[in-house]
Amino acid sequence: MGRHDHLPTDALVGIHVLIVDDDPDARELIAVVLRYCGALVTDVGSASEGLRLLTRIMPDVAVCDISMPERDGYWFVREALGQPVERGRSPLPVIAITAHGEIHGPDRTLPAGFQAHIRKPIDPWELCRLVASLARRA
């Protein structure tokens, strides 16, 4: 069945997205979709690198893989939400990404602090819609 709606190519203009994923292919594929939809994208290969970035810049939303060696997605979301937030700003929304068939379902990721949960293979439209709706605006 063909999908009728096309990707909204300007839906993410003005949104800065941080991608945290240890798999470079996944990172690149997610980045290319978000950029196509107009987002400014920064991607990093580990949770600790992602956290380090958060000390320097405040993205509008983050997309984070759950299973990563060393620090995983749960660690990242815990640390990110533990960071001080500028007055008048909401905490960083983080979207969880899990591989199909993994044991981490929304029943685990959402209580852990993730705002949304997407399974691989990722539907690009669903990803863009979530990023657009969750992005915090200054």
Contacts to other proteins by CB under 8 A: 1-9, 23, 25-26, 29-30, 32-33, 36, 99-100, 120-124
Instruction: Output the smallest distance, CB 103 to other proteins, in A.
Output: 17
Do 96 and 68 contact (CB within 8 A), yes or no? no
> 19 or 51, CB closer to other proteins?
19
> 92 or 95, CB closer to other proteins?
95
> 92 or 117, CB closer to other proteins?
117
At 27 the three-state DSSP class reads helix
> 122 or 132, CB closer to other proteins?
122
Instruction: Output the smallest distance, CB 83 to other proteins, in A.
Output: 28
- Token pair listed for 36: 């196509």
Which are the contacts of 106, defined by CB distance < 8 A and separation ≥ 6?
117
Instruction: Output the smallest distance, CB 95 to other proteins, in A.
Output: 14
Closest to 74 (Cα-Cα) out of 91, 55, 97 = 97
d(CA 29, CA 31): 5
